[in-house]
Structure 1
Amino acid sequence: MNQVLGATLIAIGLMLGFAFLGIGIGLGILGAKVAEAVGRNPETKSDVVQSVMVVAVVVVVLLLLLFAFVFLLLFFNPLVIQ
């Protein structure tokens, strides 16, 4: 049973780590492309920023769903027989 709990905690740590790594890299690339787009065509700044905010909100919602799944695994682990 301790091995199952240990493996679950490792899996949760890896999920959170890779999620934050992917989100950090993705938002960094997104910010660079936004700066490039606004630098090329400053008149479209409001449209570009509005589109980026929509994408950022979607990413945050997906991150919150990941947290919900992680806490579900953490507290209601289906692999542990009680």
Structure 2
Amino acid sequence: MESILAATLQAIGWILGLAFLGTGIGMGILGSKVAEAIGRNPETKSDVIQSVMFVAIVQTLLLLLLFAFVLVLLFFNPLAV
């Protein structure tokens, strides 16, 4: 019983850690590439760059959705009876 709860908490920790790590690295790379693209060609700021930043916003919203799912697993664990 306690091993199931411990394994669930460990899985939740891994999920959160890897999700935030991946999102942080991805947003950093995206921000640097956006700044590089605007520096090279300022005319494309309104066309391509906005769509790329929209993808970044969607990625951040998906991370928040994952965080909500992990909180549901944490407090409403179906495996722990």
- Shared fold per TM-score greater than 0.5: yes
Residue aligning to 1:15: 15
TM-score by length of 1: 0.87
Residue aligning to 1:71: 71
Structure 1 gap ranges (5+): none
List aligned pairs for 1:1-82, cutoff 5 A.
1-81=1-81
Structure 2 gap ranges (5+): none
Moved more, 52-61 or 29-38: 52-61
TM-score by length of 2: 0.88
Q: Distance in 2 between matches of 1:47 and 1:9?
A: 44
Give aligned-pair identity as a percent: 73
